């Protein structure tokens, strides 16, 4: 799996679970159309991408066919994170024809979604190339595919924000109101899980100063103007990292690339993806 050092909790068991769920959803109690094919028929298939993309999804394809038919051979032509041209062969399948056709849609669904995520991430990463800015994803992921999409984001050259609600604090407007203010919220966070990253979302320079005084590690600027952002950077220098969030698309990202912020987070990496167009062709042996 690439990147091999991806530190995403539960990724391998999540792959096994999501593949099992996808096969259960699609195959049910049996693929009745595949039964038209003689059980002993062997075949070879090739999967191509009809468009340029950044590929992602090897482990999911391998797991689909491992669960369906361990005897089937997957022959890889690409690696995760590799940019491939239109009409390139991604992988071949060699084995039982029924198994190939039964697993086709599940395998391609994972690849088209994860490659779409990786390709979007690569586009965003390119827009800030040469700067110190790190592009982060969010929790706006497809239900059940959180770790998969987080991995795809890494394959595209961006980075992960927190994985879930358990590994870092992100204190937003409603948390602040319910906790009795920014200072109270940050202090409680340090007590609840010492050493965990504490991030506070602010909507004004006054709130920014409160977050700095409270000892926040990262401060997220929500819908700040560029002038406000420049002021925020001066106030936070050496005291906290600055993240920009809210209405971040490709056009806005090009504008933000000139600002010396630490992070830009965008839900578009995972929720506005467009699936990659793939094709499988079977050849009887």
Query: Is residue 169 in a domain?
Result: yes
Task: Name beta bridge partners: 241.
Answer: 218
Model confidence pLDDT, tens digit, residues 253-281: 877 878 889 999 999 999 998 999 999 99
Structurally, the chain folds into a number of domains equal to 2
Q: What pLDDT, on a 0 to 100 scale, did the predictor assign at position 260?
A: 84
What's the CA gap between 127 and 241, in Å, rounded? 21
Cα 135 off chain centre by: 12
Q: What pLDDT, on a 0 to 100 scale, did the predictor assign at position 248?
A: 78
Query: Is residue 1 in a domain?
Result: no
Beta carbons of 92 and 279 less than 8 angstroms apart: no
> What is the reported pTM?
0.93
Beta carbons of 212 and 236 less than 8 angstroms apart: yes
Cα 187 off chain centre by: 31
Query: Is residue 261 in a domain?
Result: yes
Same domain, 182 and 153: yes
What's the CA gap between 44 and 280, in Å, rounded? 10
Same domain, 90 and 47: yes
Beta carbons of 203 and 190 less than 8 angstroms apart: no
- Neighbour tally for 17: CB within 10 Å: 14
Q: What pLDDT, on a 0 to 100 scale, did the predictor assign at position 284?
A: 64
Same domain, 138 and 257: yes
Q: What pLDDT, on a 0 to 100 scale, did the predictor assign at position 235?
A: 95
Dihedral sign, Cα of residue 65, residue 50, residue 270, residue 151: positive
Q: What pLDDT, on a 0 to 100 scale, did the predictor assign at position 101?
A: 97
Spatial CB neighbours of 38, under 8 Å, sequence gap ≥ 6: none
Query: Is residue 4 in a domain?
Result: no
Q: What pLDDT, on a 0 to 100 scale, did the predictor assign at position 6?
A: 63
49, containing H or E segment: strand 42-49
What's the CA gap between 24 and 201, in Å, rounded? 41
Same domain, 133 and 265: yes
Same domain, 244 and 256: yes
Same domain, 267 and 277: no
Find out whether the peptide bond into 3 is cis, omega within 30 degrees of 0: yes
Select from 100, 103, 79, 78 the least CA-distant residue to 89. Answer: 78
Query: Is residue 6 in a domain?
Result: no
Same domain, 83 and 149: no
Spatial CB neighbours of 93, under 8 Å, sequence gap ≥ 6: 44, 45, 46, 47, 65, 72, 73, 74, 75, 100
Same domain, 204 and 152: yes
Residues (pLDDT < 50) of the chain are: 4-5
Beta carbons of 243 and 265 less than 8 angstroms apart: yes
Same domain, 71 and 38: yes
149, containing H or E segment: helix 146-155
Phi (first) and psi of residue 127, to 5 degrees: -70, -20
Residue 93 belongs to domain spanning: 11-125+273-284
Same domain, 71 and 143: no
Same domain, 170 and 277: no
Give the active site residues.
Answer: 105, 140, 172, 201, 222
Q: What pLDDT, on a 0 to 100 scale, did the predictor assign at position 4?
A: 47
**Which CATH number characterizes residue 165's domain?**
3.20.20.70
Query: Is residue 79 in a domain?
Result: yes
Model confidence pLDDT, tens digit, residues 26-44: 999 999 999 999 999 999 9
Q: What pLDDT, on a 0 to 100 scale, did the predictor assign at position 259?
A: 84
* Conformation bin of residue 65: beta by default, left when phi > 0, alpha when psi is -120 to 50: alpha
Query: Is residue 43 in a domain?
Result: yes
**Which CATH number characterizes residue 277's domain?**
3.90.1170.20
Select from 113, 202, 198, 200 the least CA-distant residue to 155. Answer: 113
Q: What pLDDT, on a 0 to 100 scale, did the predictor assign at position 21?
A: 98
Query: Is residue 2 in a domain?
Result: no
Q: What pLDDT, on a 0 to 100 scale, did the predictor assign at position 226?
A: 87
Same domain, 229 and 179: yes
């Amino acid at each position: 799996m690439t990147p091999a050092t991806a530190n995403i909790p539960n990724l391998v068991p999540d792959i096994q679970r999501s593949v099992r769920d996808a096969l259960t959803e699609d195959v049910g109690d049996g693929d009745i159309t595949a039964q038209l094919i003689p059980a002993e028929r062997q075949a070879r298939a090739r999967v191509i991408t009809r468009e340029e993309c950044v590929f992602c999804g090897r482990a999911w394809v391998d797991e689909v066919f491992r669960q369906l038919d361990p005897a089937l051979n997957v022959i890889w032509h690409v690696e995760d994170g590799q940019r491939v041209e239109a009409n390139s062969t991604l992988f071949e399948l060699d084995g039982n024809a029924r198994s190939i056709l039964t697993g086709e849609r599940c395998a391609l669904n994972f690849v088209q979604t994860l490659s779409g995520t990786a390709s979007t991430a690569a586009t965003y990463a390119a827009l800030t190339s040469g700067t110190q800015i790190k592009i982060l994803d969010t929790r706006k992921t497809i239900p059940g595919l959180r770790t998969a999409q987080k991995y795809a984001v890494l394959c595209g050259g961006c980075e992960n924000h927190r994985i879930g609600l358990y590994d870092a604090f992100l204190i937003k407007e409603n948390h602040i109101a319910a906790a009795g203010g920014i200072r109270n919220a940050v202090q409680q966070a340090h007590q609840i899980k010492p050493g965990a990253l504490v991030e506070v979302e602010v909507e004004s320079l006054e709130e920014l100063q409160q977050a700095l005084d409270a000892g926040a590690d990262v401060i997220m600027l929500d819908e700040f103007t560029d002038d406000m952002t420049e002021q925020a950077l001066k106030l936070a220098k050496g005291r906290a990292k600055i993240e920009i969030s809210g209405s971040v698309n490709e056009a806005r990202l090009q504008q933000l690339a000139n600002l010396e912020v630490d992070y830009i987070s965008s839900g578009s990496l995972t929720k506005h993806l467009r699936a990659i167009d793939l094709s499988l062709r079977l050849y009887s042996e």
